[in-house]
Amino acid sequence: MPREVRLLSDVLSDFARTMGTDFPIQGILDQLVQGIVEVLPVTAAGVRLTGPGIDPGYVAASDRSALHFEKLQSELDEGPSLVAQETGTAVVVPDLRAQHDFSTFGPLALDAGVVAVFTFPLRNGDAQLGTLDLYRDAPGLLDLAAMTAAQTLADVAAAYLLNAQARADLQDSSDRSRASLLHDPLTGLPNRILLLERLEHALLRGRRSGTMAAVLFANLDEFTLVNDTHGHRVGDELLVAVAERLGRQLRPADTLARLSGDEFAILCEDLVQTAEVDAIAARICAALGEPFVLSMGQVDTTASIGIAVADESHHLPEDLLHSAELAMHQAKRKGGARHQIIDMGEQRLVDERVSLQRDLRQACARDELLLEYQPIVGTVDRRIIGVEALVRWLHPSRGLVSPATLVPLAEQSGTITAIGRWVLEQACQAGSTSAPAGALPVSANVSAYQLMSPNFAATVEDVLLSTDTDPGLVTLEVTESVFLQDSQRALVVLRDLKRLGVTLALDDFGTGYSSLSYLKRFPVDVVKIDRGFVADLGKDHATRAIVSSVVDLAHALGLTVVAEGVETVQQHEEVEELGCEACQGYYFARPMSAEALDALMTHRVADGNPRLPVDA
């Protein structure tokens, strides 16, 4: 085997062995030029990558002189390498002195000691990736075996190069897609995923170093308004400006992230005391409170910032971020435009409310709600003229939950509509079944939210029909709060209800805004004087004067008056003197179960005396 062929096979097998899966482009070129000067009768070798399909600009050379010739051809834009590159065929210049094609490169190369040049294209189909250039200090041709060996090596190297380039491209695109996975496209800031990654490291570092990490959770106040008023383009512009402004407030090692919409989070590390994060938050709040000048003009905004400092309760980065978010909501509840370190006491109350709300959604289905009934009696004869249905919730672990807690919860979670309907159905059924002497009038309370909910009157009508209840036996009690929200609509609903034939009572009169004009403007039939007034009747003249004039006005308008919360014989006497037609209160009877009410009514009627005894 000729020496060149044996050595060529050595270089090739060397290539195959060392070009592992992640051999870099520069490494391939270096190996090529080193290998080739060992196997072929040349003094130096160089490679230039210039073609499409590969990163141009790579250069390798077996020594300084070869490097010089490569650069020279690039600078002069002339030389055998450029011809081979363009034509895709080898260029052979056995004696530069006799070759006049390279008028600039030729003399300069000769001056530097090169006499013969052999250039082989690094072929990639019809195009060339670059060239392999062999230099010799003596004139003369290479023999056929050497020429073939050189072209074979150039071809093999080209194949490796393409492979390496494909790998590099893949890496690039996976780097890019990882970067886009971890960043918010609008602001270019880290997103939630990246923030959580950094937070995890920060928590670990904090534990080791004894310093603190904190998260600030910032949310613009009324950002939706900006979007709604000026459009999303301006909204986006504002978010970008906010991101920039936030960035300027931070210390170099802090991480600013955009979580979603107008939610930004800042991770501060290496804090020694909480006061530091407090100061950062104050600075940010002040900065975001300054007007923003956008393309459409000035936009004013403020931000609410919640802060959570890592402690042993935050094992997970998500926990810390969540705490900061809760603190942000606390800041919002206080009116916004402020910062707030999480208040765990308040948070426990909020958590409790949330968990009660969750339970309440299932209370109806789980049969945990029940009604008690409190008799309403005629003031003079103490005859039972009706009952008020009062809801209770028997919570599986908390026991009895009062309506004072239950009703607002139900209003907040929207369950009041379903609960209200259930109350009405139960009350109607109790009114018609628990009265041996005939149907018993029953009152049910209706909260403002319930009254204003869509189709309330239709619901009432539906319940009356489905329970076969005489509307004349049903009183709906509403409080003045219904008139505060939207008095026009309240008036419409109340009129619809009146048309159904039910009685309307104004409950707790005297609390709240207590405008006497309500009695005239709204179609109510009954006024229930709040028990606060009844309790104070004997104590001061002013209360007595007020109640007296309410009773007189009610009577003048044709309404009847019920005194609530009558607890003593004196109170009974006083409300009787003032002319209240009916009374309700512990003095006569406490709220009781449906069974107890049944028993009471049966007993009273059997006695021929449906009056309540009083044990004064």
Q: Which is nearer to Mg ion, 9 or 481 (CB)?
A: 481
**Among 18, 366, 586, 603, which residue interacts with ligand C2E (rule: CB under 6 A)?**
586
**Among 81, 340, 374, 434, which residue interacts with ligand C2E (rule: CB under 6 A)?**
374
Instruction: State the residue for tokens 């009877």.
Output: 589
49 binds ligand C2E (CB under 6 A): no
**Among 184, 508, 574, 581, which residue interacts with Mg ion (rule: CB under 5 A)?**
508
Contact 388, 584 (CB under 8 A): yes
480 binds ligand C2E (CB under 6 A): no
Q: Which is nearer to Mg ion, 120 or 533 (CB)?
A: 533
Distances (CA, A) of 61 to 55, 66, 289, 597: 17, 5, 61, 106
219 binds ligand C2E (CB under 6 A): no
Contact letters (x/-) for ligand C2E, 424-453, by CB under 6 A? ---------------------xxx------
Site for Mg ion in 476-505 (CB under 5 A): 477
**Among 269, 477, 480, 574, which residue interacts with ligand C2E (rule: CB under 6 A)?**
477
Distances (CA, A) of 59 to 11, 35, 48, 118: 20, 16, 5, 17
527 binds ligand C2E (CB under 6 A): no
Contact letters (x/-) for Mg ion, 377-416, by CB under 5 A? ----------------------------------------
Contact 47, 33 (CB under 8 A): yes
130 binds ligand C2E (CB under 6 A): no
Contact letters (x/-) for ligand C2E, 377-406, by CB under 6 A? -------------xx----------xxx--
**Among 129, 281, 320, 423, which residue interacts with ligand C2E (rule: CB under 6 A)?**
423
Q: Which is nearer to ligand C2E, 378 or 403 (CB)?
A: 403
Element housing 91 (H / E): strand 91-93
- Which residues, including other chains, have CB under 8 Å from residue 306's CB and lie 6 or more apart? 216, 217, 323, 324, 325, 326, 327, 328, 329, 330, 331, 339, 340, 342
Torsion angle, CA of 70/80/38/164, rounded to 10 degrees?
Answer: 70
Contact 130, 50 (CB under 8 A): yes
Task: Tell me the residue ranges of DSSP E strands in 543-612.
Answer: 560-563, 582-583
Q: Which is nearer to ligand C2E, 184 or 507 (CB)?
A: 507
Q: How many DSSP H helices and E strands does the chain contain?
A: 23, 21
- Which residues, including other chains, have CB under 8 Å from residue 323's CB and lie 6 or more apart? 215, 306, 308, 314, 342
Contact 270, 251 (CB under 8 A): no
Q: Please, what is the minimum distance in Å from the beta carbon of residue 468 to Mg ion? A: 24
**Among 184, 461, 508, 574, which residue interacts with ligand C2E (rule: CB under 6 A)?**
508
The pair of structure tokens assigned to 455 is: 């189709």
Q: Please, what is the minimum distance in Å from the beta carbon of residue 570 to ligand C2E? A: 13
Catalog residues that contact ligand C2E under the rule CB under 6 A.
374, 390-391, 402-404, 407, 423, 445-447, 477, 507-508, 531, 564-567, 584-586, 591
The site for Mg ion (CB under 5 A) is made up of 445, 477, 507-508, 564
